[in-house]
């Protein structure tokens, strides 16, 4: 997975961020097994709890387009001086589609791009097994 290329796409996506309340732009670039990349930006709401993070925007765009298999995701937070990792809600949602080995990378205006994995960010994901039951 070309993290530098995906970071560029995530950064570009951050420019579409709708974040009048936090003024904190976030962009995400999600690589599909098909080779396609779907991007997302954070979309805030005046009812703050309804805000959708960039990672979940990207997942929604890709899944809505019929994608189901993903390689990894890269997140850009250009308004932060240090790399900001996906929030807890996003880790849960990403874990629905990304296995423990999948790369998750995040970078900001400084500090370089941190390379992590889904398993590092969301360990002990036992509920994932629900998918196989019923
Ligand atoms: N945000 C994201 O989009 N993704 C993250 O991983 C961290 C937080 C957004 C939510 C809100 O619009 C703004 O960043 C400030 O929390």
- Domains of the chain with CATH codes: 3-133 (3.40.140.10)
Structure tokens at 40: 């997302």
Q: Does ligand 1 come within 6 angstroms of the Cβ of 89?
A: no
Predicted local distance difference test score (pLDDT) of residue 129: 66
Pocket test for ligand 1, best of 11, 26, 75, 82 (most atoms within 8 A of CB): 26
How many C-beta atoms surround the C-beta of residue 31 within 10 A? 24
Predicted local distance difference test score (pLDDT) of residue 125: 86
**Residue tagged 């530098």 (tokens):** 4
Predicted local distance difference test score (pLDDT) of residue 126: 74
Å from CA of 101 to ligand 1 middle: 24
Predicted local distance difference test score (pLDDT) of residue 9: 98
**38 has a pLDDT exceeding 60:** yes
DSSP 8-class letter at 6: H
Q: How far is CA 7 from CA 24, 34, 105, 127, 131, in A?
A: 17, 19, 8, 30, 30
Residue 111 pLDDT grade (very low, low, confident, very high; cuts 50, 70, 90): confident
Cβ-Cβ contacts under 8 Å for 43 (sequence gap 6 or more): 17, 18, 51, 52, 57
């Amino acid at each position: 997975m070309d993290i530098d290329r995906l970071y560029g796409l995530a950064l570009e996506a951050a420019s579409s961020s709708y974040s009048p309340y936090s003024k904190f732009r976030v962009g995400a670039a999600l690589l599909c097994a098909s080779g396609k990349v779907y991007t997302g930006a954070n979309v805030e709401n005046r009812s703050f709890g309804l805000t959708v993070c960039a990672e979940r925007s990207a997942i929604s765009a890709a899944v809505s387009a019929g994608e189901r298999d993903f390689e990894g995701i890269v997140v850009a937070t250009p308004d932060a001086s240090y790399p900001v990792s996906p929030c807890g809600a996003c880790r849960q949602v990403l874990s629905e589609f990304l296995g423990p080995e999948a790369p998750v990378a995040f970078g900001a205006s400084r500090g370089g791009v941190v390379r992590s994995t889904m398993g590092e960010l969301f360990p002990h994901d036992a509920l994932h097994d629900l998918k196989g039951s019923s």
